[in-house]
Structure 1
């Protein structure tokens, strides 16, 4: 290599290192990263999202699994949708359903929203979805960015088969 090539290569490596270092300390709406490369904000993913076809236009439930792949715990604090102006987070304990302000999404764990357990309730539907429709919701969290989810409208008797449940 000649001296010019060596200087160009050294400059390119220095710039790459500087960008990598500054990227590790930046904080943006997509989630900041710490020195281990892990996100400072919880990294949440949603799977198995569905809504059983409602019997009427008064209410409906929504079920899914919210997985937290980070080391930071979070809380589901709100849900919005064009289908209803009143979405509630419900918890079921001792066979009693109650409206709660938030549900925990543990670090490295999951929040299961399922029949007979915690779930999302749509109160006062603007229309009645049919099997095969998709309903858009937005999940809001204490720390993580909002997550948009499409709920598949399933038969009223549908129950998710959780082959990955432990």
Structure 2
């Protein structure tokens, strides 16, 4: 019978260590883990405005894209398009363990009052500002005006 309390003590200690290990892993789940992929700007038809597209992948807690900036234009705004109607947005939710898409016909960036017209082959530095993740700087390559990544692999 003397071994029973020791065995119970060892079992309690092992369970406590297992919970501590789980706890340290859950801290990571409490933080967003954002990665931006597929960014591009179609070469603009006019000299003062351009659109931008990308996907935010998040492997952690929810976050919010609060604003965007770039030295390439005086102002960068967030927009959604629903039912063919474009509307400026103040922010976009980035779901936990999910993604936020900015694609043709949907969510997109508008680069307004461009300082110079970007051409195919140029790269534009863009700062995405997130509520929890801070600022993520992404290089947006300028593609041909008709570029569509959903058809690029076909």
Q: Which structure 1 residue ranges, 4+ long, deviate > 6 Å from structure 2?
A: none
Q: Please list the CA deviations of residues 45-87 of structure 1 after superposition, one character each: whole Å capped at 9, or x if unmatched.
A: 01100000011222100000001111x1111110010001210
CA distance in 1, matches of 2:47, 2:32: 35
Matched with 2:146 is 157
Matched with 1:107 is 96
Q: Please list the CA deviations of residues 18-54 of structure 1 after superposition, one character each: whole Å capped at 9, or x if unmatched.
A: xxxxxx9xxxxxxxxx611625321100110000001
The structural deviation recorded for 1:145 is: 1.9
CA distance in 2, matches of 1:162, 1:101: 30
CA distance in 1, matches of 2:48, 2:119: 14
Number of equivalent positions:
131
Matched with 1:55 is 45
The structural deviation recorded for 1:114 is: 0.3
1:31-46 equivalence runs, <5 A: 35-36=24-25, 38=28, 40-46=30-36
For structure 1, which runs of at least 5 residues remain unmatched after alignment? 1-23, 25-33
1:1-166 equivalence runs, <5 A: 35-36=24-25, 38=28, 40-70=30-60, 72-161=61-150
CA RMSD after TM alignment: 1.9
Structure with the larger strand share = 2
Q: Please list the CA deviations of residues 102-142 of structure 1 after superposition, one character each: whole Å capped at 9, or x if unmatched.
A: 01110000000000000110011000011000000000011
Moved more, 128-137 or 153-162: 153-162
Normalised by the length of structure 2, the TM-score is 0.80
